[in-house]
Structure 1
Amino acid sequence: MPYRSIAIRLSVCAFALVLIAGYLFKSWLPLPSTDTAEIFSPEGFILFSLILVLLLLAGYGLWLWLRERQRSVIQKDVLHSIVHEFQTPITAIRMAVDILDSPIAHNQPERTEKYVRIIREETERLQYQVETMLTLARADRNALTLNLEPVELDQLLHSVAERHGDYLMLRLHDAHSHVLADRLHLTNVLYNLVDNAIKYSSDQPRIMIQTQTDDDGLTIAVHDKGVGIPAKAIAQIFQPFFRVDDRNQPSIKGFGLGLSYVQRIIQSHKWTIWVKSEPSKGSEFIIQIPPQSILPNPSQLSSQS
C-alpha cells in the first residue's frame, strides 16, 4: 500500500534527521551537565525530538485510518449508485420487451413504435455510461488515444442545439472556426455540459452556448440559469462519483461521472476548463482552447491562394 511505504520512509528520514541534529547540537553548543540544564542537553534534545516524531507519526497513522474508513464508505455509496443507475435502464428495457412480446402491442403500430423508442434510448444510455467509465479507466492508465481531426466548431454546436428546444440558444462570435480535436469526445463533452445544465435547472431551463476569440485562443462557455453550485463544492465537482447534494433535485439521474469525463477529455486535448457558479443564479462552464489547437479557416486559405 503506498501510504504505508510513505509512512515508513518518513519515519526513517525523521529519525535520521534527529540523530544528525543531536550530533551537531552536541558538537557546536556543549552545555554544562547540571540538573537545570539536563533537559537542554543533547540527549534531552534527542529524546524530545523522538517523542515529537512519534506523536507526528501517530497522528499521521490516525489520519490514514480515518481516510481509509471514509474511502470504504464512499466506495459502498458509489457501488450502490452504480447498481441503481444500471438497474433503471435494464428494468425499462425489460418492461418494454415484455409489452412488445404481449398481445397488447400486436396490430398497434403507435404503441410498438413507442416502446421501440424506449428500448433504443435506454440502450444508448447504458452504452454511454459504459463508455464513460471505460474512458476514465483508460485516462487513469494513460492509455486514452485521441483521434484528432479538423472540426468545424460552429457546425458541431448547431448539431448539439438541434437536439434541444428553444431553451438552448447559441451566440457564436467567430463564424466557421475550426479546431483540432477528437470529434466524438468533444461532442460528448458538449452533450454532457448541456445535459448537466438541464438536470440542475429548477424550472424551464435557459441555456446559452457562447464562443469568443481573444489573444489566449478560443473559449466555449455553457451558461445556465439553474440552481448553481455552492462555493465549497466547486473544487470537487470534477472528481469521479461526486455529486452536489441538492435536496430540491432528488431525482437527478447519473452517478457523478459526467464532469469527471469532461475534465479528462479537456485535459487530454491540453485544453483547460473551469466553472463560475453561484447558488440560485446558475453556472457557467468555460472551455479554453489554446491558439495551437485553432486551425485557419479553409475559406481563408483558398482566398489567400
Structure 2
Amino acid sequence: MIFFIFLRKNRPVLNRNTIRLLVLLGTLSITGIIAVQAYWVKRAFDLKEQQFRQTVMISLRNVANRISTLYKLSKFDNPVSQLSSDYYVCNLRIPLDADVLEHYLKEEFRKQNLNTPFEYGIYDCESEKIVYGSYIDANFEENKVSSKPLPKTDKYLNYFGVRFPSKTSYLASKLDIWLISSLITLIVTVFFGYSMFVILQQKRLSEVQRDFVNNMTHEFQTPISTIKIATDVLSQPKIFEQPERFKKYVQIIRQENSRLKTQVESVLNTARLERGKFELNIQLQEIHGLIYEVTEGTQAELEEGLKMEFNAVRSSIYADRTQLVSLIRNLLENAIKYSSKPPNITIRTENTTEGLVLSVIDKGIGIPKESIDKIFKKFYRVPTGNLHNVKGFGLGLSYVNEIAKAHKWQLKVESEVGKGSIFSVIIKQES
C-alpha cells in the first residue's frame, strides 16, 4: 500500500481549468507568431518582387536603347510593358535578328545580376506571330525549348517579349533568412503541439491513476474489513462452543483471502506484462474440465444463472494452463459484474472451421458502441454512472487481450446496450 500512497502524493496536479488555460494561451501565442511570420514573409516577398520588376524594366530598357543606338535611332524613355507577373514586352520599332537580341539580353542580365532562366521571342508583323527565340538557363546557356507560346499584344508594331518561368522560385531563393525563421517557427509549432499532446496525455494518465488507486482502495478495503470482523468474532472464547458459526467465519476468511490473492495477482500479472516477463508453458489442455474448475467456485453466487453449452466435440487445445484459467475466470467475472441480478450467463464451446470457439454470453447491460474499441485498454471501465456498482481495477479484459495475443488467438466482441454481450475467443487447434 505504501507504493500506491506514494503514487497519490506524487501525482501531478493538472486540473481541467489549468489545462484549458494552457491550451488557450499556447494556441493564441503560436497563432500570433505564425500570423506575424506570414505577414513579414509576404512583405519580404513583395519587396523582392518589386525589386525584380524594376531590375527587369531597367535591363530591357537598356537593351532597347542599345539596339536603337546600333540602328542610329532615338532612345526610348519607357519602352517596356509588363503584361503579367512573369512576362514583359519591349518596343523595337524595327525588325531584329534573334541572335542580336539574345546577345544583348545576356549581357544586360549579367550586368544586373539577374541569374534566372528566361525565354524570349520576336514579333513578326508579316505573319502576325511571335517567333520563339530560345530558352536560356540560369548560366546563360541555351537549354530546352518551351512548348508554351508567348502572348501577343497590340501595343507595339515591332517588339520582343521576355518571360521568366522560374520567377517565383528565384525570388524564394532570395529569402534565405526568412525561410530559416519560418523553419524555426514550424519547429516551435510542432514542439507546442507535442507539448499539448504530452500535457493531455499526462492528464489522462493522472485520471486513470486516480481512478485505479480509488478502485484498488475500495476493492482492498472490503475484504480487509470483512476479515477484520471475522477475526474479531473468532477471537471471542465462546465461538468454540458454536462449531457451525466457527466454521462459517473461517470460510469467510478463506474466501476473502482468496479474493485478495486474486486481486493482487491481477495487478502483478499486469506488471509482468509491462516488463516483458510473460512466459507461456504450452501443454495439451482439456478446456471443458478447466471451465468446470473455474465455475465451481461461482455456482453458489450465480445459482441457476449459469448455463453450460459444450457443443465442441474436439475440446483439447494447446495452451498455458494458468493463463487459460485466468482468461476464463476474467471473462466470467466480467460477465457477472455487468449483469443484472440475478445474472443470466452462458458459457459455450463449439468447433468451427477457424478452430475451437469459447464464448461467454451474458444478458447484462451491454456495451455502448463508442466503448467497444476501448474495453481491452488497461484500466478502462465501461461507464456505469457515479455509483460504484461495478467492482474491479479495469485490468481483467486487458489481461485477457494479452493472453490471447500471447497464444495467437483471436478475440471478438458483440454487444448491444440493454441486451447483453458476447465475448468469443477463437482458439486454433492442431489438425
User: In the alignment, which residue of structure 2 is the partner of 1:6?
Assistant: none
> Contact 2:375/2:381 (CA < 8 Å) preserved in 1?
yes
User: In the alignment, which residue of structure 2 is the partner of 1:33?
Assistant: 48
> Contact 2:313/2:350 (CA < 8 Å) preserved in 1?
no
User: In the alignment, which residue of structure 2 is the partner of 1:183?
Assistant: 321
Q: Which residues in structure 2 correspond to 1:111-190 (within 5 Å)?
A: 111-162=245-296, 163-164=298-299, 165-190=303-328
User: Cα distance 1:148–1:82, how it changes in 2: closer, same or farther (>3 A)?
Assistant: same
> Contact 2:215/2:391 (CA < 8 Å) preserved in 1?
no
Distance 1:181 1:36 in 2: 78
User: In the alignment, which residue of structure 1 is the partner of 2:403?
Assistant: 265
Q: Give the drift of 1:265.
A: 1.5
Distance 1:256 1:193 in 2: 12
User: In the alignment, which residue of structure 2 is the partner of 1:23?
Assistant: none
Of residues 222, 226, 230, the one that matches 1:96 is 230
**Do residues 214 (structure 1) and 332 (structure 2) align?**
no
**Do residues 227 (structure 1) and 365 (structure 2) align?**
yes
Q: State the one-letter code of the partner of 2:406.
A: S
> What SS class does the counterpart of residue 270 from structure 2 fall into?
helix
User: In the alignment, which residue of structure 2 is the partner of 1:279?
Assistant: 417
Q: State the one-letter code of the partner of 1:125.
A: R
Q: Percent identity?
A: 39
User: In the alignment, which residue of structure 1 is the partner of 2:27?
Assistant: none
User: In the alignment, which residue of structure 2 is the partner of 1:85?
Assistant: 219
Higher mean C-alpha deviation, range 126-135 or range 156-165? 156-165
Q: State the one-letter code of the partner of 1:33.
A: K
Deviations 1:184-240 (A, max 9, x none): 221121121112111111232111112222222221111110001111111221122
Higher mean C-alpha deviation, range 136-145 or range 248-257? 248-257
Q: Give the drift of 1:45.
A: 4.7
Distance 1:234 1:115 in 2: 41
Q: State the one-letter code of the partner of 2:310.
A: L
> Contact 1:200/1:249 (CA < 8 Å) preserved in 2?
no
Deviations 1:232-290 (A, max 9, x none): 11122112222112138632222211111211222121212131111111011110112
User: Cα distance 1:124–1:284, how it changes in 2: closer, same or farther (>3 A)?
Assistant: same
> Contact 1:241/1:255 (CA < 8 Å) preserved in 2?
yes
User: Cα distance 1:102–1:259, how it changes in 2: closer, same or farther (>3 A)?
Assistant: same
Distance 2:313 2:386 in 1: 39
User: Cα distance 1:112–1:94, how it changes in 2: closer, same or farther (>3 A)?
Assistant: same
Deviations 1:168-187 (A, max 9, x none): 11222222520011112211
Larger radius of gyration: 2
Q: State the one-letter code of the partner of 2:172.
A: S
Distance 2:211 2:370 in 1: 21
Aligned length: 264
Distance 1:59 1:155 in 2: 54
Q: Give the drift of 1:125.
A: 0.7
Q: State the one-letter code of the partner of 2:231.
A: V
TM-score normalised according to structure 1 size: 0.78
Q: State the one-letter code of the partner of 2:49.
A: T
User: Cα distance 1:248–1:213, how it changes in 2: closer, same or farther (>3 A)?
Assistant: farther
**Do residues 60 (structure 1) and 159 (structure 2) align?**
no
Higher mean C-alpha deviation, range 255-264 or range 278-287? 255-264
> Contact 2:350/2:356 (CA < 8 Å) preserved in 1?
yes
User: In the alignment, which residue of structure 2 is the partner of 1:197?
Assistant: 335
Q: State the one-letter code of the partner of 1:191.
A: R
Structure 1 residue ranges without an equivalent (≥5): 1-30, 297-305
> Contact 2:309/2:346 (CA < 8 Å) preserved in 1?
yes
Q: State the one-letter code of the partner of 2:196.
A: L
Q: Give the drift of 1:147.
A: 1.8
Distance 1:36 1:226 in 2: 76
**Do residues 109 (structure 1) and 124 (structure 2) align?**
no
Higher mean C-alpha deviation, range 266-275 or range 276-285? 266-275
Q: Which has the higher contact order (CA 8 A, sep 6+)?
A: 1
Bigger fraction of residues in helix: 1
> Contact 1:199/1:252 (CA < 8 Å) preserved in 2?
yes
> Contact 2:364/2:421 (CA < 8 Å) preserved in 1?
yes
Distance 1:171 1:196 in 2: 19
User: In the alignment, which residue of structure 2 is the partner of 1:237?
Assistant: 375
Structure 2 residue ranges without an equivalent (≥5): 1-45, 53-167
> What SS class does the counterpart of residue 50 from structure 2 fall into?
coil
